Amino acid sequence: MPSLDSVVQIAARIFGMPVAAVNLIGDDHVFFAASTGFEGQRVDMRRDVSFCAHAIARNEVMVVPDASRDARFYDNPLVTGFAGVRFYAGVPLYSPGGLALGALCVIDSVPDFDFSDDDRARLADLAQMACDRLELRRLEHSTERARRPFEDDARTSPTAVVWFDESLRVMAWNKAAASIFGHVPADGPGRLVVDFLAERHRAAVGGLIAQAAAAGTADGLVVPDGLAGVRKDGLEFPLGVALFCWRDKGKLTFHAHLQDLSSHPGQSAELRRLSTTDLLTGLANRASLYRRMEEALAGSAGACLLLVDIDGFKDVNDTLGHGVGDGVLREAAQRLVECVPSLATVARTGGDEFAVLIPGCTSHRESMAAARSIVDSLAEPISVNVHEIRITASCGLAAAPGDAQEALELFSNADLALFKAKSYGRGQVFAYAATLRMEATARRLYSIELHRAVSEGEFVLFYQPQIRLSDGSLRGAEALIRWQHPQRGLLSPAAFLPALENGPLASVVGFWVLDEACAQAAHWRRCGATDFRIGVNLFGAQFRVNDMAAEVAATLQRHGLPPHALELEVTENIVLDDDDLVLGVLEKIKGMGVGIAFDDFGTGYASLSLLKKYPVTRLKIDRSFVQSTPESERDTAVVRAILDMARSFDLETVAEGVETEMQRDYLKDCGCQEGQGYLFSRPVSSYEFSESFRLRTENRMGKLA
């Protein structure tokens, strides 16, 4: 189903997973209604091995962090076989009648223990979107069926249908329709269709039909709620109407599905209102926003969609409690309604996410103005109980038809713009541009390529020597990753690290680097560099896997390397990311005797205070300070201060980016122990490194096995 493609693509993108799918469950097989990431793979679709069949058995999000360690799945062919499923998260999809149809799922080939409650909620939201799509498809389908000539099977259909022409004359109605009104089928033809409505509704409905006749389509037409029909005996009853029309041999024919709502209490207006309303704020809910988008986009006037997200809302909830959080959301909802035109739809689409649909607004300039006034009004203090709360909000927007023709596309483009706005910090507004889609596509492509790089062993390590400044001797090397790309040649980390670092492969690659670098170091130590030390950069993600300290210990043991021959390099970003967790792991590792170097030291904000708190053994003075030493007084002062600090904390030092003899001599005079930089050598392959330092080796290039 093409209309579900964007749902699975959004799912894959939001969660950074290689595979996402909407599966429909049959009696013994599972079918893909839509999928991304399975291209060219043959997948076992038997129902009894399907994860989704498990997911639909429970009315909630099912998360399997590591299938190989899950009693239900460890021996499942999807886990042990070629598909290699490790992580699975899925949500059941229900029909409006409550029947479980299938599931929306995201899948990864590596375990993931970080799927948060927020992630679950987002996946559930997307599942709702998929359900809407399925339901729309069903409606479309029934419309298509309804377009068949009356003679077919309509006469006996249990659905009440009436056919009429542009002049409102009834051409035919079936038995079911006639009996709703207490008539027999012969009573219908020739009469005005509006005559079967309560007097007070006739003009409005007549006008609506005239409008559709002029436009040649009933798409985008909203039949008002609360219509009343009149029975033959004069009694009124609540009537539901769905209107369609089509042109046949030049003649416009209308077609109404009718429902006597008094005999369908489940469909009463109140129930319908509830099912389209967000209970907390009274705004439209996501499903009804979605329908309004479909309506707006079916017409010709266009519309813009603003997605508004409160920055750091979690903090409000965490610090002031959910009661206050709810109050903030209600007030935010109120303000949104006040600052947008009255024909706009304001909806709450998620926990702290709102959407505003403004029909007829098609320019970025106009939409930006609306977005700014929203962001400004939310920035005003909010009082809840005794608290005065200040929040900011970010907004992404997209306009149709310029940015998108289709509702889901409009939503997903506004979402990309929101993602961009958030990346600029708080309180930002960003409009969709085609480059955002290209960036997103590039990210997706890149993630596919990165998977291949891992499985095909395209990463290699280069080594850059670290030199003792007092006598110029080799102390060790830093291992630096490169990507031997089959088409683009040797790539530097700058070209792929951002994608790798934030994706699901970071820890896999990180531990490969550790293993490969340790193997190389052990080899060089055996080749004569007996005190050789290897520096390995870490990714933040490596700290979040099961037991990183144990992983490090096992690696050392595997290669017969003493702990002091390894130095792990961490940056401030890693350290600040997840304070307590990282701290505990580093302490353990340092306790084993492994060195911990603080990388890029001096570039961050919190470095000084961190030094006291963190178990580090060495500072790596950042290249930016070394570069302008000794010419720049300021940078020279920083270098001296860092060296002083290192002495007082009893830490070792290495200066990065040493390019000139003058820099080397100056650093040596200031008491810096080691240097690393182009003056000594650029990062080189293990082969070149062995040659330069006469460490005879059997030419291993450090390929990822």
Span 552-571, contacts to ligand C2E by CB under 6 A: 569
Q: How far is the CB of 461 from Ca ion (least distance, A)?
A: 13
| Minimum distance of ligand C2E from residue 510's CB (angstroms) | 6
- Nearest approach in angstroms of CB 597 to Ca ion is 7
Neighbour count for residue 464 (Cβ, 10 Å)? 20
Dist. CA 522–CA 525, nearest whole Å: 5
Q: Shortest distance, CB of residue 605 to Ca ion, whole angstroms?
A: 17
Indicate left, alpha or beta for 494 from its phi (over 0: left) and psi (-120 to 50: alpha): alpha
Told to check if 659 binds ligand C2E by CB under 6 A, we report yes
Q: Does 493 bind ligand C2E (CB under 6 A)?
A: yes
Q: x/- string (CB under 6 A) for ligand C2E, residues 627-656?
A: -----------------------------x
Residue 480 near which of ligand C2E, Ca ion, none (CB within 5-8 Å, type-dependent): ligand C2E
Q: How far apart are CA 287 and CA 469, in angstroms?
A: 67
User: Pairing relation of β-strands 474-485 and 489-491?
Assistant: antiparallel
Partner in contact with 514, chosen from Ca ion, ligand C2E, none, beta carbon below 5 to 8 Å by kind: none
480, 529, 655, 695: which one binds ligand C2E (CB under 6 A):
480
Rule CB under 6 A: say whether 537 interacts with ligand C2E. Answer: yes
481 binds, among Ca ion, ligand C2E, none (CB under 5 to 8 A by kind): ligand C2E
Pick from 422, 588, 623, 700: which binds ligand C2E (CB under 6 A)?
623
Please state the closest distance from residue 600 (CB atom) to ligand C2E, in A.
Answer: 6
* 353, 458, 599, 635: which one binds Ca ion (CB under 5 A): 599
464 binds ligand C2E (CB under 6 A): yes
Dihedral sign computed on CA atoms, order 515, 516, 517, 521: positive
Compose the 599-618 pattern: x for residues touching ligand C2E by CB under 6 A, - for all others.
xx------------------
CA distances from 26 to 29, 45, 61, 89, 140 (A): 5, 10, 20, 20, 22
Q: In terms of CB distance, is 403 or 656 closer to ligand C2E?
A: 656
Return the range that interacts with Ca ion (CB under 5 A); candidates 119-127, 147-155, 291-299, 529-537: 529-537
Smallest gap from Cβ 464 to ligand C2E, in A, equals 6
Least Å distance, CB 482 to ligand C2E, is 7
Return the range that interacts with ligand C2E (CB under 6 A); candidates 149-157, 344-352, 442-450, 473-481: 473-481
Using rule CB under 5 A, residue 281 touches Ca ion: no
The smaller minimum CB distance to ligand C2E, of residues 229 and 540, is found at: 540
CB of 627 to ligand C2E, least distance (A): 8
Nearest one of 535, 540, 451 to 496, comparing CA atoms:
451
Taking CB under 6 A as the rule, does residue 492 contact ligand C2E?
Answer: yes
The structure tokens listed for 550 are 């144990």
Under rule CB under 6 A, residue 657 binds ligand C2E: yes
178 or 513: CB nearest Ca ion: 513
Question: How far is 524 from 534, CA to CA, in rounded Å?
Answer: 10
Instruction: Give the CA diameter of the chain.
Output: 110
E strand spans, 98-235: 100-108, 160-165, 170-173, 228-230
The CB-of-286 to ligand C2E minimum distance in angstroms stands at 39
- Phi and psi at residue 691, to the nearest 5°: -65, -50
Q: Distance between CA atoms of 151 and 45, rounded to whole angstroms?
A: 41
**SS in 3 state form for 368-424?**
HHHHHHHHHHHHCCEEECCEEECCCEEEEEEEECCCCCCHHHHHHHHHHHHHHHHHC
The mark string for 157-176 relative to ligand C2E (x by CB under 6 A, - otherwise) is: --------------------
Closest to ligand C2E by CB, 198 vs 679, is 679
The distance of closest approach from Cβ of residue 599 to ligand C2E in the complex, given in angstroms and rounded to an integer, is 5
Question: In which element (H, E) is residue 559 found?
Answer: helix 548-559
CA distance 633 to 386: 52
The alpha carbon of 104 is separated from its chain's Cα centroid by a whole number of angstroms, namely 14
Structure tokens that stand for 217 in this block: 């389509």
Judged by CB under 5 A, does residue 571 bind Ca ion?
A: no
Segment 178 to 237, residues that bind ligand C2E, using CB under 6 A: none
Taking the CB of residue 496, how many other CB atoms lie within 10 A of it? 22
Closest CA to 536 of 551, 546, 300: 551
Of residues 118, 119, 94, the one with CA closest to residue 106 = 119
Residues near 222 by beta carbon (within 8 Å), at least 6 away in sequence? 295
Number of residues that bind ligand C2E (CB under 6 A): 25
Q: At what angle do helices 506-526 and 493-501 cross, to 10 degrees?
A: 130
**Burial of 436 by CB count in 10 Å (0-12 exposed, 13-18 middle, 19+ buried)?**
buried
Q: By rule CB under 5 A, what count of residues binds Ca ion?
A: 5
List the one residue from 449, 567, 572, 600 that touches Ca ion (CB under 5 A): 600
Beta strands in 531-657 (DSSP E): 533-537, 566-570, 595-601, 618-621, 652-655
Question: Binding of ligand C2E at residue 678 (CB under 6 A)?
Answer: yes
Q: Is 567 in the site for Ca ion (CB under 5 A)?
A: no
Tokens representing 197?
Answer: 């409505």
- Of 397-405, 493-501, 582-590, 595-603, the segment contacting Ca ion by CB under 5 A is 595-603
Which one of residues 12, 370, 391, 538 is an interface residue with ligand C2E (CB under 6 A)?
Answer: 538
CA distances from 445 to 452, 534, 617, 683 (A): 11, 33, 40, 28
By CB under 5 A, the residues from 645 to 664 that bind Ca ion are 656
Contacts with ligand C2E in 497-526 (CB under 6 A)?
497, 510, 513
CB of 689 to Ca ion, least distance (A): 17
From residue 75, alpha-carbon distances to 80, 84, 103 in Å are: 6, 11, 22
Binding residues for ligand C2E, rule: CB under 6 A, are 464, 479-481, 492-494, 497, 510, 513, 537-539, 569, 599-600, 623, 656-659, 676-678, 683
Binding residues for Ca ion, rule: CB under 5 A, are 537, 569, 599-600, 656
